[in-house]
Structure 1
């Protein structure tokens, strides 16, 4: 793909690698987790070499994702602080969904919806990690009632995370020109000016 040298840098190589480690880990965790969530998904264990290996690999994949997410969290948390403009954006989100973004308030690098997504994923990730530790019987021997509660929290947080990631992926596909930012690290000036005018002004000085 030939890219315009005037395109704007949105993500560095390390930021993109961090994102993909989290994303790939999530896919593997989702598939292996679903395999144990309901008998209908149990055949998914064959993707990991059978049920025994699936059970062994799942928590270690969770550790990889948790660590990668912590790195990503501290990289981007300062860019995801809610502002009055974000709250106004959220109040007009129905217009955005209808495809009319002309009356949306000026946004920085991330809009109000992306910021809500970021914090929702952070909370879900925290619950997933803590509950995962609780139910990791190979390393932690906790009372059975706590383990049962941990299993419920883990499943609920996992379901929420799957839903959030589906929305995240759909939004990236829906807003044309977004996916290339995670492939190549750049976006067009027109894309930046239309969707993140505040960030566009910041990086271009215009």
Structure 2
């Protein structure tokens, strides 16, 4: 039954996870309160503690949301037959989110940078795992394309994304994403005719 206590509880938990991902991205960890997340999720603040005991648990939930979104995205991209087309479609997706990137930066990258400043040695590693998921997926695409040094190519691609997100945010200029995204696409187009180490131009 869709209105059972279990389904209502699951719905609240899902709303809290989604709200945590969005609000933490927009406001950062230090500025965000549990009350902020509860309000965004339309859940009474007292109910939050039934699902998440601390703000750190909500940060972990946000990271899980980012991992789930990445899995959904790469699953959709995986329907394209050509691995380099999948990578170019990934770049197109990044560029399509240029306004959000210019305002708030990369969702996972900004969390990773903020968590790195904390001295708890835990959640920063969890953020790194999400970025590693993207690197591993990109590396697999380059490997399927038969290109040498797929791990290095994946690092170049993801570093390009993080760099353009950071600059777009710092300059509050979404066009940075458009221009750098086009450059990444040209680089990807150049790879089949290069002997491995094509550089960004």
In the superposition, the TM-score normalised over structure 1's length comes to 0.29
Identify the structure with bigger relative contact order (alpha carbons < 8 Å, sequence gap 6+).
1
